[in-house]
Amino acid sequence: MSIAEIKDAVGCKAPRLGGSTASLACALIGLGMAEMAVVISAARDKQDSALSHAEQEIGHLTQRLADAAEQDRIQFQRYMSILRQKSEEDDKPDKPLEDAGADATRQPLEAADILMDCLELLAGVAGHIHHFVASDLFSGAGIVKAAFAGTMMAADINLAEDRLADLKQKTEAQRRDLDQRCRSAYAKLSQAALEHGFRM
């Protein structure tokens, strides 16, 4: 699938990729930008154990994120399929719809946790990146942060449904923790970016 085809799969009346899946696809590109900065910096400074560790970890995180994006796509399509089959006039309790909605909400939250692992890793290694590729790391981190916001909003819109009130309550602490992790990691990245002359 080309980049234009990916865009068309999102920007239509009946999208094949939901908001969280689209956000995760963007996160993978952002993580790739950051990975390039880490790999180049590690090649220039082979004695830096933080860079070599980050290089290995980004590989693992990329695979986890790609798997999460694929699962998110599957759950979104399942949820939409059940929604389309359900009559608009049928307001009776619908267990399959509730289950599909819950799964389509849990998956973005699981993916958001991976995004925070990514952002925290980048925050931890930002001070080791060579200046001439630092813009790639900070740009990539900014994309990951934006993807996190999109993923969380996708979960929040599902949780606004009355049928998911129990799940909203059960995930409240998880969502609050994810937001706090994001603020903390991004603050560290923003400070490191300023030291390189960039504003995030």
* Domain assignment of residue 112, yes or no: yes
The average pLDDT across 18-47 equals: 96
Determine whether 38 is exposed, middle or buried from the number of CB atoms within 10 Å of its CB (0-12, 13-18, 19+): buried
pLDDT digits (tens, 9 = 90+) for 122-166: 999 999 999 999 999 999 999 999 999 999 999 999 999 888 999
Number of domains in the chain: 1
* Domain assignment of residue 138, yes or no: yes
Q: Closest Cα partner for 142 from 132, 150, 131, 130?
A: 150
Q: What share of residues in the chain are helix, strand, coil (percent, to 5)?
A: 85, 0, 15
pTM attached to this predicted model: 0.93
Distance CA 150, CA 55 (A): 26
Q: Mean pLDDT score of the chain, rounded to an integer? A: 93
Question: What is the pLDDT, as a whole number, of residue 195?
Answer: 94
* Domain assignment of residue 91, yes or no: yes
pLDDT digits (tens, 9 = 90+) for 68-89: 999 999 999 998 888 788 655 5
* Domain assignment of residue 161, yes or no: yes
* Domain assignment of residue 200, yes or no: no
* Domain assignment of residue 186, yes or no: yes
Give the C-alpha distances (Å, rounded to integers) separating 18 from 21, 73, 75, 109, 191: 5, 7, 10, 14, 33
CATH number at residue 18: 1.20.120.680
The average pLDDT across 13-17 equals: 84
Question: What is the pLDDT, as a whole number, of residue 37?
Answer: 98
Q: With cut-offs at 50, 70 and 90, classify the pLDDT of residue 7.
A: confident
The parent domain of residue 101 ranges over 3-195
Instruction: Let me know the angle formed at the C-alpha of 24 by 23 and 28, rounded to the nearest 5 degrees.
Output: 120
Higher per-residue confidence, 2 vs 103: 103
* Domain assignment of residue 49, yes or no: yes
What is the residue type of 149? A
Percentage of the chain exceeding pLDDT 70: 96
Lowest-confidence segment of 91-95, 103-107, 157-161, 192-196 by average pLDDT: 91-95
* Domain assignment of residue 164, yes or no: yes
Token readout for 110 is 């699981």
Question: What is the pLDDT, as a whole number, of residue 122?
Answer: 98
Question: What is the pLDDT, as a whole number, of residue 25?
Answer: 95
